[in-house]
Amino acid sequence: MTTPNLRIAEHYRQAIRDGQLAPGERLPTVRELAEEHGVATATARAAMGWLRTEGWIVTTQRGSFVARDVANTATPADRLSRVRRTGTILGTGETRRVTSAALLVPPLYVAEVFDQDPASQVVRREYVLGSGQQRLALAVDWYPRELADLVPDLLRTAHSSDDLLTQIERATGRTVAYGRDAMHGRDADQREASALGIRPGDSILAGTHEWSDDQGIILYGEWCLPARLTIGYEYRL
């Protein structure tokens, strides 16, 4: 079971990610948080400490406020959860610019991920996530070939009214049941640097995620973030 301080912190992370709390908006005091959530002031203070450490809030003599500058972004698990709550992977104020969407023969490692003939095609979608003038991530999503026939928007770069995962689950009757993330730090190459507005060779956090059900993989994603951003997530053992 999640401890009370982590539960309170996640409540406010989610509210900030989803746009329910705007940049610069004031948060309750530690005492008010403790009373609202029925916990000790030390527990409420620990929750605020997590939010401050991760860059979600800033604290001054006047109180604690939602950070005005984006210092963090959602994890794949956060975005999957948001689709369930709101119907979109994007938080309020976030944008997604799709730069390519096509059927192609993938690199060998992607074919191996999907356990298919290396000469077979898959769907590849590349896009840049942003917030205001800031670029949050460069991402590439890979989907099984057969989904393109069921969800034509997979091969379109224009904005669609429904999130692609929602369309896939509606068209196939499948639901993402499993997820796995992997991350590592490395230097940005020319393509990544151009998309993120940084210099080639600058440090980035690169990651992959896989969403699947008992029938197999629904989406395999690759992404990279500028080093200035923080991501975090809870887990149970």
One-character DSSP codes across 36-85: HHT--HHHHHHHHHHHHHTTSEEEETTEEEE-SS--B---HHHHHHHHHH
Q: Give the residue from 211, 206, 207, 197 showing the smallest Cα distance to 130.
A: 197
Give span(s): CATH 1.10.10.10, the chain.
4-66
pLDDT tens, residue by residue, 113-130:
999 999 999 999 999 999
DSSP β-ladder status, 94-104 and 63-66? unpaired
Q: Give the residue from 24, 32, 80 showing the smallest Cα distance to 56.
A: 24
| C-alpha–C-alpha distance, residues 188 and 200, integer Å | 5
pLDDT tens, residue by residue, 62-113:
999 998 876 888 899 989 988 988 888 888 788 999 999 999 999 999 999 9
Residue in this structure with the two tokens 């096509």, named with its chain if needed:
102
Q: Kindly indicate whether the domain formed by 4-66 is annotated with CATH number 1.10.10.10.
A: yes
- Average pLDDT per 10 consecutive residues for the chain, totaling 237 residues: 84 86 92 93 92 89 87 88 88 90 96 93 97 92 97 93 92 95 96 97 97 96 94 73
Helix axes 41-53, 30-37, angle to 10 degrees: 120
The per-type count for the chain, helices as H runs and strands as E runs, is: 8, 8
Give span(s): CATH 3.40.1410.10, the chain.
76-226
| CATH code given to domain 76-226 | 3.40.1410.10
Q: Give the residue from 161, 164, 175, 162 showing the smallest Cα distance to 141.
A: 164
